[in-house]
Amino acid sequence: MSRDREYVERQYKYIHNGASVEEFMLKFHLNSTELKGLLELCRIYGKNIEIVEKDGTLVFDKPFIRNLDTRKPDLDPNNLRYSQICVVSDTHFGNIHQQLHLLNKVYREAYNRGITKVYHVGNIVDGNYPNRPEQPRQQFLHGFDEQVGYVVDMYPRVKGITTEYILGSHDETHYKNGQATVNNWLSRCRKDMIFLGQDCALTELNGVKIFLDHPGGGSAQSLSYKPQKRIEILESDYKPKILLIGHYHKSYYFVYRNVHGILVPSFCDKTQFQQKQGLSNVIGAYFIDIYADKKGNVEYFCPEEVIFRPNDMWEEAGKDKERVRQLVIK
């Protein structure tokens, strides 16, 4: 191992996500030029580390570590089509618990991996329920104009990435309240965001059928029970190879009746409602590698789960409004 690589391997372990840059420099007696050199060396050896501002302090921001699947079988690229996608859900923009900075992180990672397709499985905005008088206190954006305007202005805009989305029950409240549709304004203002349907949609990528589903109702005790039921009710024409399910704010991968199913986590921290109901809440996303034959049959499916930890989140995500800028990569 070269001395440079050895140095990078050693120092990389001491650079913790969210740790203060100043404290690191003091600990290792580095001046700013030496730190710059270290980060440049890290980049050369495939370990990109960024420095970001958090609560007025400069901190390290380490990227996701890719879990390379060593069991990957020998795949014949001449007979199989390769797709890589990213899947997100339940951003609930306008809720004080939203986590836009983490969504930005996922989109940056998607860009770094060369991903061109992101699926969003519904509840883009937090909506407006007239029968929930406690809701406005849980929001920093109220009503259709504020919430949808925020999506138009703040949803990541990344070169080469198209986001295909469905709408969920929270998005639909705006229609029920005054026939305002989130998709109408997003289609007018964001050419990189493609509307697929309300509640569910069947789409295709490189011949592979993908079903996006945003069910209603509460969670079940078992993570697999409700998703399996969703597969059982799909008519054969609609039977996909991949089923992506939003709404539950959980993370789970399963295979049932030859369908690869994923419960997609959220980008909204635990709300008062979830706390009261004793519901758990998972924040994260999935990156998925898919190899399929020419008929659209999935030969190899590798879901990579990205789960954020409590200290990645901002308690009062109203801070998102003040401190997070739109992620724009041109």
Enumerate binding residues for Fe ion (CB under 5 A).
Answer: 90, 123
* Closest residue to Fe ion, based on beta-carbon distance: 90
Do residues 175 and 209 lie in contact, with contact meaning Cβ atoms separated by under 8 Å? no
Mention every residue, 6+ apart, whose C-beta is less than 8 A from residue 27: 14
Which CB atom, from 90 or from 213, has the smaller least distance to Fe ion?
90
Do 12 and 42 contact (CB within 8 A), yes or no?
A: yes
Q: Please give the structure tokens belonging to residue 27.
A: 């600990």
Shortest spacing between CB 261 and Fe ion, in angstroms: 18
Q: CB of residue 247 vs Fe ion: minimum separation in angstroms?
A: 6
Closer of 61 and 90 to Fe ion (Cβ)? 90
Q: Which is nearer to Fe ion, 83 or 98 (CB)?
A: 98
Contact 215, 226 (CB under 8 A): yes
Q: What is the DSSP letter of 270?
A: P
Number of neighbours of residue 21 by Cβ within 10 angstroms: 19
Identify which of residues 246 and 261 has a Cβ nearer to Fe ion in the complex: 246
Look up residue 125 and give its amino acid.
V
Q: How far apart are CA 94 and CA 81, in angstroms?
A: 39
The C-alpha angle 16, 39, 45, rounded to 5 degrees, equals 95
Shortest gap between Cβ of 40 and Fe ion (angstroms)? 41
Tokens 């570590």 map to which residue? 65
- Judged by beta carbon, residue 121 or residue 298, the one nearer Fe ion is 121
Cβ 149 to Fe ion shortest distance, Å: 20
Write down the least CB distance from residue 14 to Fe ion, Å: 38
Classify the C-alpha dihedral 25-30-33-38 as positive or negative.
Answer: negative
Strand boundaries in 168-297, DSSP class E: 193-198, 200-205, 208-213, 242-245, 252-256, 259-263, 284-292
CB of residue 248 to Fe ion, shortest distance in Å: 8
Query: DSSP label at 138?
Result: G
Residue 199 CB, nearest approach to Fe ion (Å):
13
Per-residue CA distances from 137 to 48, 133, 211 (Å): 39, 9, 34
CA gap 269, 283 in Å, rounded: 7
- Choose between 208 and 243: whose C-beta lies nearer to Fe ion: 243
Which residue's CB is nearer to Fe ion, number 264 or number 298? Answer: 264
